[in-house]
Structure 1
Amino acid sequence: MKKVIQVDKDNSSQYMEWMPLGDMTYYDSVTMTMKGNNIVMVKIPIAFANIDLSQNNFEGEIPNVIGKLQALKGLNLSHNRLTGPIPQSIGNLSNMESLDLSSNILTGVIPSELTNLNGLGVLNLSYNHLMGEIPQGKQFNTFSNDSYEGNTGLCGFPLSKKCGTEQQFPPSPNFWSEEKFGFGWKPVAIGYGCGTVFGIGIGCFVFLIGKPRWLVMIFGGQPKRRVNRRRSRVRRTNGSTMNQMVPMS
């Protein structure tokens, strides 16, 4: 990707150059298959209309000089291992109709300069690591979610994820929430049921036999003392009258 464009006055590329190696000279070249014919090119013309370098495992960043290919109409660099940001210079390619940079490792934001590509009809930036707000206006208003799929950091139209307006609402308090109790709602429900049954049983017990002494002691009350009522009964002994107090139970 570093060997792509122009340099001299005869519409050829500076980045297709020769390198002296002692007594030998090394020339860069590119073999292109066009209409079934293999053509070895030692210089790439500026008027090159389409470049498809997809599925080649290329690594590194896309060079800024790509923006000097003024006649470029189609650029496909998908399914490589390209890193770094999308060059802003691509926005200079006013004749661009198709741009596919999908399935790479591109990072950063989508340059707003790309909205200058008025003739862009196909855009695929899916499955990268792009982030930030998607540029708006012109052709960018016509692209669907598929153009940005797989970039979890992107937001804005046409995605449903809005930029800067999403509010993180705290979860509503829930009595059965596992986060609240830490051990799930089932043990809590079982304990609640057992407690209810136990309470009902104690209530029935008290209702039937009164307040037992041990129950009153448990709940901190003081048992009431029994008051013995006495009644007077007249008893005659040897002709005399004697009052005797008889305890009443």
Structure 2
Amino acid sequence: LITSIKSITSILTSPFDFENKYSQIYKEISKLLPMDGMFLGLYLKENSLLHLIFIMNENQRFPEVTIPVESRIEKEALTKRRPVLKNNIKQSLNYLNNNHKVVRSTLAAPLIYRDQVIGLVSLQNYTSNVYLETHLEFLSLISGFITLDVINFILTKAREIEKNALKQLQKVSHELTQPLTGITGYCNLIREEISKDDPFFREISDMEEQALRLEKLIQKVQMTVHLNHSEIAKNNPYLNLLKILQLDE
């Protein structure tokens, strides 16, 4: 047991990418206890959803997916904030494509950070009565280490999303600024060629003034944009959790 915990903590602190890291953890846990499947999810409490960031079933990796918290086991672990062991159950894994097998035994442990439940780690088996209290204690123990790693993962993903969004904003701003600069330049040239008494003089001046105002507005948006208050933040599980946990302060 101690050897397995050491191996898992070593993997968690390794420079491996997230997918490889948890694939190795899946293999390490499989050496210690019977397991057909494992998932790691972020808990979006407001919408009662789990965003599964790692899913492995029978040594096959599945892509990220968001699912409603419907299982009684998951609800109990998340709402009562405690590890749960269930044998002799019948639970379908609807998030697995073309998988008609039924889970008979499962373990689930909440991930708690700053007194908030941020996620869930769960192990599943297609055979009844395979899990013991010692297995639950083991999962509960490593869930603490996993929590810290997930926090780092959330921070990394959120920063990547922010960086990409800012790049896109800068690109759009550049596309808008270029024609506006051209408009103000042409307006200035035309205004120099006509007298103040010309009926178009006022219209040209107004056009130039509005173009300059838009340029300043774009610059202001570039300087003051804060993604945690944008639609991106509202709809993204990583930025959503970043805001809830106040990790961006």
Q: Using structure 1 for the length normalisation, give the TM-score.
A: 0.23
Greater percentage in helix = 2
Q: Using structure 2 for the length normalisation, give the TM-score.
A: 0.23
Greater percentage in strand = 1
